[in-house]
Structure 1
Amino acid sequence: MAFFLVVATIAISLLAWYSFNFLQSYNKARRIGLPLIFSPFDPWGLFWMLGGAFLGPLLLRLPFGLGEFVNHIKSDWYYLNRNALHQKLGPAFILVSPNRIQVVLGDGVAVEDVLTKRHKEFPKLPELYQGLKVFGNNLETAEGDDWRRHRKLTVPSFNERNISSSNGICKSNIVWRASLTQARGMLNSWVSAGKSGVTCTASDTMTVALHVLTAAGFGKDYSFQPSESRDCTVIKGEKLSFEVALGAVLDSFMGVVISSAFPTASEFLAKYMSKKVDSMKFTVTEFKRNLREMIEEERAVLKTKSSEKSNLMSALVRASDLEGTQGDGKRTLTEEELYGNLFIFTFAGHETTANALMYATALLAVNKHVQSWIREEIHSVIGKSLDTESWEYEKLFPQLKRCLAVMYETTRLYGPVIALPKSTGSTPSTLTIQGKEYIFPAHSDVMLNMVNVHHSPEFWGPTPGHSAQNAGSSRTAQQAPKNSCSRPMVATYPGQPGLEFALERKFVAVIASLFQRHRVQPVPQPGETIEVASKALSEAIEDSECVLTLKMRYPEKARLEWEADT
């Protein structure tokens, strides 16, 4: 009897605590004056993060729509819902859960206001950025004066005019050249697959993105190898090359983020997945070792005053050690901050480039009219016979506007960032949404719904491209103005100077290389027509998920055939 009394007391206490927290969240949210939706679970609570994948499908089966809240707290609900919830509830609404309220903001003007004018009023949500500090504080995790210091030192590294004084090589030209080299190798591999097509587009574009980054970011050149023939085996205890260490860290970065941001989850993972956690820690250690050795080598070269390198690492080392050193001998970037910035730019650039190329090639296979449209431009600007070794960046890149427009349309519809987490910090913040002012209380989450912004009919017209089948018909790709391209209304990579700048060069170089002399189409299954294969490919594109960034859930379903012009 005493045992049941103890259990009942604990249960009642937990229920009372839960109800009190939920009521507090409700009272806090209703005073704002926006529509409310409710969830019994904190979407960022450890319970839901660890058990949501199992519980979600079960809860959705509850009668009378009781489990509908699951569709509003999954990590990728922004993409899955597109703008349907905003069409129903308006430009902003609030998700209420125990211990947390989330203002979901989908109005483009208000989102742009938060991003461009309100750094102090709407700081980053600290707990979600903690995992990005795994190698050190960086531009993405810094705030306030610290953020301005990081930005001042990192932005010049991406400046088109920032060239090596000794050799005059423009950084964009380095990105351009590396992209062309990698694209040639990848295309040769794809064409050799013949009628059977390739299913490794996603992993191969990851390789291309990785190798362009190692060349432009660290001065390390690697030849393209198809993912099926690459040996990236990690053997604990053996020294890893920079390429293998970086690739392994990027592949396991979700685990790195969780272990750094959520120590309790890290303990759970370490207990039940000890081998994977040990391997992850080893690759992180090896990546740091490689970075340390490369930075020491760069510093030694800088002391001789004869450095001819022009890459991200050399620029940051110079900015930290030479331009920023004060009379007290302190560097403007600490060693850990140098590591942190090098990695965060590498990670973000790798994911965005690879995903954009994967989606674009698949979309172009479905939308043959857009494929013909960009090929027409490539042939007009470059011709059909000029080898890529002779392509001049300064002359050709500005003229390839249609290729750039395809990048903008791809990242609008399938951009890597589906939502940006902000907060109100320790004080309330005000924001005007469609002419009405709202006051958000302190310690409120503010989620910037980038998917809604980039799909909103108010800004993109009545057919803003909700599926792969009509993506090529929406206005950005088809209406590239004579002098500039229509880019997404809000920057796809806010806070990361140079990422969009670098992505443009990489994307255009690769796409122009692929389509100068070749076409791509989906490979029909036995007995299928090309129309049925195109529909299946569209469905595979739409079936995407967000694991840090948006990507296709089953990219191997995109079987693509590349054939040369006759």
Structure 2
Amino acid sequence: MVSNVALAALVLVAIYALKVYRQFSRNLAAAKASGIKYTVVPFYLANRLYQLSTIFLIPLMRRLPVSWIDPWFDLTLVEWGWFRRYEPFKRFGTDTFLTVTSERTTLYTADADVIWQITNRRNDFPKALEVYGSLKIYGNNVVTSEGQLWRHHRKIVSPPFSERNNHLVFAETLGQSRDMVDSWMGGNEKSSKTIHTVADDAMRLSLHVISRGGFGVKLEWPGKGQATENEHVKGARGSAFSSSVPEGHTMSYTDALGMLLHNVLVVLLTPRFLLKHLPFQWSRVAYKSYVEWGKYMNEMFQSKKAAILEGTEGDSLDLMIAMIKGAGITKESASNSHSPAQTLSDSDILGNAFVFILAGHETAANSIHFCLVFLAMNIASQRHLQRDLDEIFQGRPVSQWDYDEVVPKLFGSMAGAVMNEELRLVAPVVGIPKSTAKGSPQPLNVDGKKCIVPENVYIQLVSTGVHRNPKYWPTGPPSDPKNPAHPVSNTDNDLEEFKPERWLLNPDAKNANMAEQDGDTEAASLGVNTASDTSPALYRPPKGAYIPFSEGYRSCIGRRFAQVEILAVLALIFSQYSVELSVDAYASNEAVEKMSEKEKKEVWGKAKAEVERQLRDDMGSVITLQLRKGDIGLRFVKRGNERFDWK
């Protein structure tokens, strides 16, 4: 009996091994025939089981002889695009290569021309939707759809992302930034203070801005007062969106949203029926926040729907109202029995609301955080930014900053250069996923040669690679050749360093115009902004070389929203304050005051070295790329009272 069971088990193992071998053979043959350089790796990185098992698999592989794991080992690191950056492409001698496994082949590219081809042939290289399936927790949405369904979602959700709405984003960001700084400084503008919550506070600020600009919900900074909903929603309870807990709820709106975002990975990756019944505090909190925020969104939906049907919504372009109207729900449709069926379901509306809150606030918040960190480490660049801000604002108070006048100037000044350089170094996502469909291999021009991308290939547009590809960027020698900014990537140039000046090729060519659309009528009909990511006054990288917001038709719908928010924060803070690295771990404030310039440089250098280590080793992706361990202390000081001030 035992021998029969053992034999059956061996047969099953043999059958499985044969299946794996045959699939690997097919993948390998397709890679060989593609004309694209390839390498064989043992694991498919997008496999969730492999991602979970790396905790013990990676240490085991590190113990193997180097000859066994070279050159593929680093490509088994789930986020090798961040930790290795451009180095693998340089090592393989190509900016586009395939990795072959028994499960699936993956194409990685840091080639601007290849990226441009892929992003502009959206039907040939569709989005890899399996990566985004977990984002459907409230319903389908513009991120989790493709083809005609995506076109439908995109057309409906696009109207609020307009220049008209950006005026509101600019004003709201300035107000929220002022409240944030006041909370740090205690209302004493002449004080200086070290803040260790900059990342968290940037998240709160960005969340408040998208709540107001995207949904008409005004959220006040903690301690400032109660929030109220946009006046356009007749009969809505203002308290429903404050820090209080209204009737029918067990959490306030802000707590529900904050806890949902804090536990977002748990909610996204755990089946809801399981999350509901897990006997842990963290699971109970995660499930509760998921349910509570869903209830708030549904109440907002029902309230604004009622206002629209009554004709009392006013002249509003917030996202929720745009989606409801786009779905065919209008005052006229309510009185017409022959009106067509609703074109966007209730769950789709809630699904889009969730992804815009999730993705919209993280992208801008992380960029704000890292802009502050990089400027604290690069004093000369910070002073350059402040000089440009002084020239733009001419000492006028914030209340007199006019969007139409100052935002184009910010976009084309050192403020725009700082934003662009931060997004080049720390793009929101390391790799943008695309694919080829099953049964649909695709031709692709690679290095001037016609190649064939096999069917069912998973594609990664490696932003950290193309953003550091020396072919496309103004470069100079490394600041310290003996101690390069990264141990393996671009050790012979400065592309791993924060140098916003690389965008200012002609400092005198300050252009007060925003980049314009390219005249693509189909893109315009879908609300796709085809204007350049960068100002005409700054360096213009080749198409496909700069992809912090992706490229082509599937580029980020909230790109301008995020850019205006980032520029507004930089303008408000650096027009009034300087930001320094905290040296509290190495010296007290009193000790620093007594130091010579040489001693100050030494202690500042220690703080800078630690921050550089954190940015190199402690980063990782949750939804977007961010600091995963610890915090970075930053000291805010009124301009003119700086302790560290040198070029």
Q: TM-score range by the shorter chain?
A: 0.7 to 0.9
Say yes or no: does 1:399 pair with 2:405: no
Report the secondary structure of 2:218's partner residue.
Answer: coil
Tell me what 1:28 maps to.
30
1:335-374 aligned within 5 A: 335-374=346-385
Deviation at 1:184, TM superposition (A): 0.9
1:409-428 deviation digits (Å, cap 9, x = unpaired): 11111010211111111311
Deviation at 1:122, TM superposition (A): 0.6
Deviation at 1:177, TM superposition (A): 1.4
Tell me what 2:178 maps to.
184
Query: Please, which of 515, 525, 532 is the counterpart of residue 606 of structure 2?
Result: 532
Query: Please, which of 85, 91, 113 is the counterpart of residue 88 of structure 1?
Result: 91
Tell me what 1:436 maps to.
449
1:333-370 deviation digits (Å, cap 9, x = unpaired): 11111112222122111110111011100000001111
Higher helix proportion = 1
Structure 2 unmatched ranges of 5 or more: 224-241, 479-484, 487-494, 512-535, 588-601, 641-647
Say yes or no: does 1:281 pair with 2:287: yes
Say yes or no: does 1:113 pair with 2:110: no
1:148-547 aligned within 5 A: 148-160=151-163, 170-192=164-186, 197-225=194-222, 238-259=249-270, 275-308=281-314, 309-322=316-329, 327-384=338-395, 386-400=396-410, 401=412, 402-426=414-438, 427-463=440-476, 470-472=497-499, 475-476=502-503, 481-483=509-511, 484=536, 485-486=538-539, 489-494=545-550, 495-524=554-583, 525-527=585-587, 529-543=603-617, 544-547=619-622
Deviation at 1:388, TM superposition (A): 2.1
1:211-235 deviation digits (Å, cap 9, x = unpaired): 1111111222222239xxxx9999x
Structure 1 residues 108 and 474, CA gap change in structure 2 (3 angstroms): farther
The answer to whether the Cα contact below 8 Å between 1:469 and 1:535 also exists between their aligned partners in 2 is: no
% identical aligned pairs: 25
Report the secondary structure of 1:470's partner residue.
Answer: coil
The answer to whether the Cα contact below 8 Å between 1:42 and 1:97 also exists between their aligned partners in 2 is: yes
Amino acid at match of 2:627: M
The answer to whether the Cα contact below 8 Å between 2:328 and 2:340 also exists between their aligned partners in 1 is: no
Report the secondary structure of 1:455's partner residue.
Answer: coil
Amino acid at match of 1:83: Y
User: Partners in 2 of 1:39 and 1:272 — Cα distance?
Assistant: 37
Report the secondary structure of 2:159's partner residue.
Answer: helix
Amino acid at match of 2:116: E
1:262-305 deviation digits (Å, cap 9, x = unpaired): x9xx96x8897754344323322212211111111112222332
Instruction: Give the TM-score normalised by the residue count of structure 1.
Output: 0.88
User: Partners in 2 of 1:477 and 1:417 — Cα distance?
Assistant: 25
What value does the CA root-mean-square deviation take over the aligned residues? Answer: 3.0
The answer to whether the Cα contact below 8 Å between 1:463 and 1:474 also exists between their aligned partners in 2 is: no
Structure 1 unmatched ranges of 5 or more: 161-169
Q: How many residues are matched?
A: 544
Larger Rg over CA atoms: 2
User: Partners in 1 of 2:278 and 2:65 — Cα distance?
Assistant: 34
1:25-48 deviation digits (Å, cap 9, x = unpaired): 222222212222222222222431
Instruction: Give the TM-score normalised by the residue count of structure 2.
Output: 0.77
Tell me what 2:490 maps to.
none
1:32-87 deviation digits (Å, cap 9, x = unpaired): 12222222222222431221123223322222254564521333211111111111
User: Partners in 2 of 1:464 and 1:147 — Cα distance?
Assistant: 45
The answer to whether the Cα contact below 8 Å between 1:186 and 1:204 also exists between their aligned partners in 2 is: yes
Structure 1 residues 218 and 140, CA gap change in structure 2 (3 angstroms): same
User: Partners in 1 of 2:305 and 2:415 — Cα distance?
Assistant: 39
- Of the structure 1 ranges 392-401 and 349-358, higher mean CA displacement relative to structure 2 is found in 392-401
Amino acid at match of 1:470: E
Structure 1 residues 65 and 177, CA gap change in structure 2 (3 angstroms): farther
- Of the structure 1 ranges 40-49 and 88-97, higher mean CA displacement relative to structure 2 is found in 40-49
Deviation at 1:403, TM superposition (A): 1.1
User: Partners in 2 of 1:63 and 1:358 — Cα distance?
Assistant: 41
1:309-352 deviation digits (Å, cap 9, x = unpaired): 34222222222234796954312211111112222122111110
The answer to whether the Cα contact below 8 Å between 1:199 and 1:555 also exists between their aligned partners in 2 is: no
Tell me what 1:48 maps to.
50
Deviation at 1:10, TM superposition (A): 5.0
Deviation at 1:136, TM superposition (A): 1.4
1:65-76 aligned within 5 A: 65-67=67-69, 69-76=72-79
Query: Please, which of 141, 150, 153 is the counterpart of residue 138 of structure 1?
Result: 141
Amino acid at match of 2:403: Y
